[in-house]
Structure 1
């Protein structure tokens, strides 16, 4: 880390822990003591764990949430790393949170506010050393087409058809997110009742097929082919293709030329905000506001939520079923159900005795692909970046492009591919893909007057450097300096505006947030690790080989992002089992 004007960095700022708002610490409402027994215990207070707890408690299942950190939210947190600057330290945008969760948990009543963005994407370009053209995309289709026409009139005409094409695929897949995958084992080997339940789970799949109809083979190609091939079918201009391709590789150790990268793009367009499909926005107060609202809803129903309560082991009864957890201080908390918001690796390789699990299950969890390309850099600045491709009035007020996801080094897909190749060879990208966001452009409460918080979501960086070199302070700062040099090329004066920075390489993301390998999705969102196979085949329905132990985090279907679907789906399944205990 580096600082300017003597600002101290690296402090674990008070952030937005629920202790400060009186919702947790001693427990829900700040008054409850940790009890010896609950109906359900949730390990980890990431957003999925909080969602699961809120639903279980709402349905009458007495639930406790146990979080190891000093604040709630997992990767959806707000932290004051630089004094006076509130950062969405890990996740930084909202769109994917399921509409049902908004409504059923009354999250707006519990304080969730979101600033929607329009326009939403800005790609300035460096061409022959100059930065004079840019691509601005928004919800105004006519204006977006005018922007695209700078590069290709043909692409401008094709863009509405592409949007409609993707929208239809999203509408088909959307119901699959809110239900457990088909239980293949029960379907083929279970009792008659289990087979009937498995058949019922086929409905969303059949519905998806009916929606897509005769075009199903074309949509199948989107899910399985490299996104470069799909976009190349629709468009001819590289700036548009590269801008759209960023959503296909973001968070993934993949190139636009990697087969299956199309699904990652689809995963990033299935959301909505305030009824607008595909919209993304900034949470007022930072991403911690999402977790605060969900925790508030859970607490309002009576859930007990505790910070600084790390779980070290799942308790197993004589029959081998889960019946509680053991905390780091030795405290035992008994329960009939245990739901883990932790990653599959942490849950099954560290919290459960290996001898209690099938050998092939352990092997598959061990081999779960968690490679991550992400280094997140949070920056405090004393002025807005001024991009050469979009000169402004210079009065310090945000312009429309400042609210966007700003894509740097995204002039063409080959740049993204070369950045991927660098990381594949064990080196941080020499010309990294950068998604730059300035949430304070829409939410001034995040920074002191005249100042801003900048999020740099960068790729590609390997978890382990070539030759086994560690990500020590020197390596981290060298990479951050490279990123800052590139931002400077597009927006001269950026480096001089920096007050402080917080650098989170893949090992940092793993250590601080429990993201295995630093993977923001708890594991690769590749086709071999989705739906039937997430986290492993035969255990994709939230249940585990340990009766009474459920996976409710991003390592379960439907995967990562601040979506909440895994938490809601797992809670529903656990409730079914609870009724029969």
Structure 2
């Protein structure tokens, strides 16, 4: 099954030349793979085309009375208002507040950031609401598991298969795609897991889309201030707040560790730096140490540390992310901040890599480096996602669908956009 349905390179694409599928999926991210798995299980012939090699009053009358205003605050208000209403301790409010700025260029004081907070805490794991989980082997294991399910259902997955253009016939309907090597793969249904901008501005031929749709899409917000730093270290951080007499992992190493955000005003100050065009002088850092829980990803005595960092403008005004010295300077700024809380952290680093917004755009295809395929603002949620009038996963091109995080319900590793899109495709397929 693996050999038959998982293939890579030019030979694989040539083998599919002229073959017609019921559906094609552009991009092997978790949403694309989820859509492919559901479609294949429903009996459709499916191929996934991936550029790269590898792949959340009934019980209380008081609560019932409070619900409408609380819910509207979560949708419309700044996260700081929500947190100030609910909590007293500043450090608790700031810690929770980081969930309101993940992947955004906004502050905890930005209207609508309450929804971003809700978006990141309303999911569940094994019935525990608001819990985030770690997957053994890293997040790539999620895609591997979904791709395994898709292949077992009969889907073909091609890697190193870069889609360069959508084929649109004279009637305005899609009939397949063209790969970068010129190979044509045919289907009257194509699902794109790429960002809406990349899908319509780069893959769809010119003069196919309605002017209003194109205008709305071009003016959508793809800004990002997120940087990811992955490190290998030779010892665990020794936090001043919880010193231990042994080098082994403790509870302080097993959750999300928040650095640079003891007060909501610190978060806002870091954001204002980015608004003024410079990376935050005191970045907001969320640290995780997955190797404490997962011994499969690092050798004995060594550890993997992930840093999710805000705020880093796509085009900083005081330098360029293409400058190695500029990149190194910012990385050392982050490590020095961690040293304030865990002395000696910097000296434990064996090596690291860093993904800034331009890196995320170039290497992963995230327009503007936005991890959500577009901002999660008030003007781009629900019926407005990705643009007004096109929230049903269908698009102005007949037979072309969106299945990525640029559709409802948005970003996060949950597979909901892929599943929803697959259901819409199946509805349309049955009507034929």
Q: TM-score, normalised by structure 2?
A: 0.95
Q: How many residues align?
A: 425
Aligned to 1:93: none
Long gaps (5+) in structure 2: none
Report 1:437-448 matches (<5 A): 437-448=288-299
Secondary structure at 1:573 match in 2: helix
Match of 1:45 among 28, 46, 55: 28
Normalised by the length of structure 1, the TM-score is 0.71
State which of 449, 454, 466 in structure 1 corresponds to 2:305: 454
The question of whether the paired residues in 2 share the 8 Å contact of 1:226 and 1:260 is answered with yes
User: 2:319, 2:326 within 8 Å by CA — same for their partners in 1?
Assistant: no
Deviation at 1:317, TM superposition (A): 1.6
* Other-structure match for 1:392: 244
Secondary structure at the aligned position of 1:420 is classed as helix
The CA deviation at 1:26 is: 4.3
Aligned to 1:24: 6
Question: Map of 1:133-282 to 2, 5 A cutoff?
Answer: 215-282=67-134
Q: Relative to structure 1, is the Cα distance of residues 219 and 31 closer, same or farther in structure 2, using a 3 angstrom cutoff? A: closer
How far residue 63 of structure 1 moved from its aligned partner, in angstroms, is: 0.3
1:33 Cα offset (Å): 4.3
Alignment of 1:82-161 (within 5 A): 96=56
- Structure 2 distance, partners of 1:517, 1:392, is 42
SS at match of 1:532: helix
Aligned with 1:531 (options 382, 385, 388)? 382
Q: Is the 8 A contact 1:465 1:471 kept in 2?
A: no
Residue 563 of structure 1: aligned partner:
414
1:304 aligns with 2:156: yes
| More displaced stretch, 463-472 vs 568-577 | 463-472
Q: Give CA deviations for 1:328-386 in whole Å, capped at 9, x if unaligned.
A: 01000010200000000000000002300001111111111011111100000011111
Matched, 1:417 2:268: yes
Unaligned runs of 5+ residues in structure 1 are: 1-17, 73-95, 97-163, 169-211
1:65 equivalent to 2:48? Answer yes
CA contact (8 A) 1:423 1:462 kept: yes
Q: SS where residue 520 of structure 1 aligns? A: coil
1:344 aligns with 2:196: yes
Give the aligned partner of residue 579 of structure 1: 430
In the alignment, what sits opposite 2:212? 360
The alpha carbon displacement at 1:270 in A equals 1.8
Runs (4+) of structure 1 moved beyond 6 Å? none
The residue number in structure 1 matching 2:174 is 322
Query: Per the alignment, in what secondary structure is the counterpart of residue 68 of structure 2?
Result: helix
Paired residue secondary structure (1:268): helix
8 Å Cα contact 1:26/1:32 also seen in 2: no
CA distance in 1, matches of 2:345, 2:257: 14
Which SS does the other structure have where 1:536 is aligned?
coil
How large is the RMSD of aligned CA atoms in angstroms?
Answer: 2.1
Over residues 299-335 of structure 1, what are the superposed CA-to-partner deviations in whole Å (9 max), with x where a residue is unaligned? 0000000100000000112211011000001000010
* 1:292 positional shift: 0.4
